[in-house]
Chains A and B, each alone.
Chain A
Amino acid sequence: MAGESVISEELNKLLNVEFGPEVYEIEKGMLKKFAEAIEDPNPRWLEEAPPTFPASLVPKELLNKLFNADIPLKRLLNGSSELEYFVPIKAGDVISVTAKLTRLRQVAGAEGPTLFMFTEMTYTNQRGEVAVKGKNTYIKY
Chain B
Amino acid sequence: MAGQVYYEDIEAGSEIPALVKYPTTMQLVKYAGASGDYYQIHYDKDFAIANGLPGVIVHGWLTLSFLGQMVTDWLGEKGTLLKLNGSYRGMNKVHEDIICNGKVTKKYTEEDRNLARVEIWAENPQGEKTVTGTVVVTLPSRA
Which of A39, A40, A51, A78 is the one whose CB lies under 8 Å from B59? A78
Flag whether B55 is at the interface (Cβ < 8 A).
Answer: no
Interface string of A27-49 (1 = CB under 8 A from B): 00010011011111010100000
Which of B33, B36, B65, B88 is the one whose CB lies under 8 Å from A50? B65
For the complex, would chain A's binding face be called helix, strand, loop or mixed by DSSP majority?
mixed
Interface string of B55-90 (1 = CB under 8 A from A): 000011110111011011100010011111111100
CB distance from B78 to the nearest CB of A (A): 12
A-B contact count (CB 8 A): 93
Flag whether A58 is at the interface (Cβ < 8 A).
Answer: yes
Given contacts A37-B33, A58-B36, contact A52 B68 (CB under 8 A): yes
Point out the residues of chain B lying under 8 angstroms from A58, CB to CB.
Answer: 35-37
CB pair A37–B84 under 8 Å, yes or no, is no
Specify which of A51, A58, A82, A85 lies most central, judged by the most chain B CB atoms within 10 Å of its CB: A51
Point out the residues of chain A lying under 8 angstroms from B36, CB to CB.
Answer: 56, 58
Point out the residues of chain A lying under 8 angstroms from B34, CB to CB.
Answer: 30, 33-34, 36-38, 56
Flag whether B52 is at the interface (Cβ < 8 A).
Answer: yes
Point out the residues of chain B lying under 8 angstroms from A8, CB to CB.
Answer: none
What separation, in Å, do the CA atoms of A100 and B44 have in the docked complex?
Answer: 30
What separation, in Å, do the CA atoms of A112 and B52 have in the docked complex?
Answer: 14
CB pair B85–A39 under 8 Å, yes or no, is no
Flag whether A81 is at the interface (Cβ < 8 A).
Answer: yes
Flag whether A80 is at the interface (Cβ < 8 A).
Answer: yes
- Known contacts A40-B65, A51-B81; 9 further A-B pairs (Cβ under 8 A): A33-B34, A38-B34, A55-B61, A56-B34, A75-B52, A76-B39, A80-B85, A81-B86, A85-B84
Could you name 13 residue pairs across A and B whose Cβ atoms are closer than 8 Å?
Answer: A33-B33, A37-B62, A38-B68, A51-B84, A55-B35, A55-B65, A58-B37, A77-B60, A78-B59, A78-B61, A81-B86, A83-B85, A84-B83
Interface of A with B (CB < 8 Å)? Answer: 30, 33-34, 36-40, 42, 44, 50-52, 55-56, 58, 75-85, 135
Interface of B with A (CB < 8 Å)? Answer: 21, 27, 30-31, 33-37, 39, 51-52, 59-62, 64-66, 68-69, 71-73, 77, 80-88
